[in-house]
Each structure stands twice: as structure tokens, then as C-alpha cells.
């Protein structure tokens, strides 16, 4: 069971890493495009709405596709100031709760509320070429949030089971071992 969960977590993390690293290369493209659009609009007096829509869609797409990578590399907003006071078990329990109470409901809400928008938008004739791509990215975003939640939950479960396996089961066993050691030392002196 542990190996299956480890394999699933590893595959989800690999997917998030691959997508995140691919979209990191979108940042220089955004910078160059923004500079070109600035020159076209301000210097050459050549504004058109597609330039602004392209920047909005590219920025939004980059942010949505990087959500899993940000969670994977711990570059996301968390309560890290308070988290340093917690032990590993408490951190794992908090991550488990966050994945099931915040991340998965968010993924279902994004998918549920955006599905009518996406269906209606795909049925209409789009005047802008990036709009269907951006709408598809919304679906991918919802799936990435759900997969990331499962990865976080799987990692938390694995760390909880690993912590429980490494801890002694009962304090009486520890005391019993110490008692056995004391008894064996007492017998050896006689």
C-alpha cells in the first residue's frame, strides 16, 4: 500500500514539476511581449485589443498552470511562520486537513462553476484565438489543484505512517525493556 501511494505521489509531483518548469519559460516570453506591446502602443500609436487580451490570457494561464509547481517547491502562501513551531506529526495532520478541506473543494468549485462558462464559450464563435486555449487551461487548473491536493494528502499520510512506525508503540514496552536491562544487570552481579 505504501509503495502504491509513494508511486502516485511521485508521479503527481513529476507532472507538477514538468508543467511548472515548462511554464517558467513563459516568463521571458511575457516580458518580451509586454515590451513589444508597449512599443507598439505608446511609441508607434498602434493599439489593439488583442494585445491586451494576450497579456491577460498569458499571465492568467501562467499563474493557473504553476499552482502545482508552487505547492511542490513550497513557494506558495502558507502559515510558515507558525509552522516552524509544529512538530512533523502536526505539520502532516495540518497538510492532510488543508488538502481535504481547502484544496479539493476549491478544485471542485472551479470545475463546477466554470463548466457552464466553458461550455457556453466553446459553443459561441470566438473572436479571439487564445480564448479557447485559456478556457481549456481553466479545466487543467482544476485538475492540477485536485492532483496536488491528492499529492499533499498522500505525502502527509506517508509521513504520518512513517512517524508512527518509528515511534515505540507503548511506554510500558520502553519501561519493560529498561526493567529487563536492570534485571539482567542485577543477575550478572550475583
Is 119 inside a domain boundary?
A: yes
Is 99 inside a domain boundary?
A: yes
Residue 54: CB atoms within 10 A of its CB come to 18
Is 175 inside a domain boundary?
A: no
Closest CA to 144 of 7, 16, 25, 11: 16
Q: Which pLDDT value is given to residue 39?
A: 84
Write out the residue range of the structural domain in which residue 60 sits: 2-167
Q: What are residue 78's phi and psi, to 5 degrees?
A: -140, 180
Express each pLDDT in 83-141 by its tens digit.
Answer: 677 788 888 888 888 889 988 999 999 988 888 877 777 777 666 666 777 778 888 88
Is 141 inside a domain boundary?
A: yes
Is 182 inside a domain boundary?
A: no
Distance (Å, whole) CA 147 – CA 92: 17
Is 137 inside a domain boundary?
A: yes
Residues 6+ apart with CB under 8 A from 137: 60, 61, 64, 65
pLDDT reading at 58 higher than 80: yes
Is 181 inside a domain boundary?
A: no
Residues 6+ apart with CB under 8 A from 5: 154, 157, 158
Is 189 inside a domain boundary?
A: no
Q: How many domains are contained in the chain?
A: 1
Express each pLDDT in 144-184 by its tens digit.
Answer: 899 988 988 998 898 888 877 777 654 444 444 443 444 34
Amino acid at each position: 500500500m505504501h509503495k502504491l501511494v509513494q508511486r502516485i505521489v511521485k508521479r503527481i509531483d513529476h507532472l507538477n514539476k514538468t508543467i511548472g518548469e515548462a511554464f517558467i519559460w513563459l516568463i521571458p516570453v511575457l516580458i518580451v511581449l509586454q515590451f513589444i506591446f508597449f512599443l507598439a502602443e505608446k511609441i508607434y500609436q498602434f493599439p489593439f485589443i488583442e494585445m491586451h487580451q494576450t497579456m491577460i490570457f498569458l499571465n492568467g494561464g501562467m499563474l493557473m498552470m504553476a499552482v502545482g509547481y508552487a505547492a511542490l517547491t513550497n513557494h506558495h502562501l502558507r502559515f510558515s511562520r507558525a509552522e516552524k513551531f509544529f512538530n512533523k506529526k502536526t505539520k502532516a495532520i495540518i497538510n492532510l486537513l488543508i488538502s481535504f478541506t481547502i484544496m479539493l473543494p476549491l478544485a471542485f468549485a472551479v470545475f463546477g462553476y466554470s463548466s457552464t462558462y466553458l461550455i457556453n464559450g466553446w459553443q459561441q464563435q470566438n473572436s479571439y484565438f487564445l480564448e479557447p486555449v485559456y478556457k481549456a487551461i481553466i479545466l487543467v487548473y482544476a485538475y492540477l489543484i485536485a492532483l496536488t491536493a491528492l499529492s499533499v494528502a498522500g505525502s502527509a499520510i506517508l509521513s504520518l505512517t512513517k512517524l508512527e512506525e518509528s515511534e515505540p508503540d507503548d511506554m510500558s514496552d520502553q519501561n519493560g525493556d529498561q526493567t529487563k536491562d536492570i534485571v539482567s544487570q542485577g543477575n550478572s552481579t550475583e
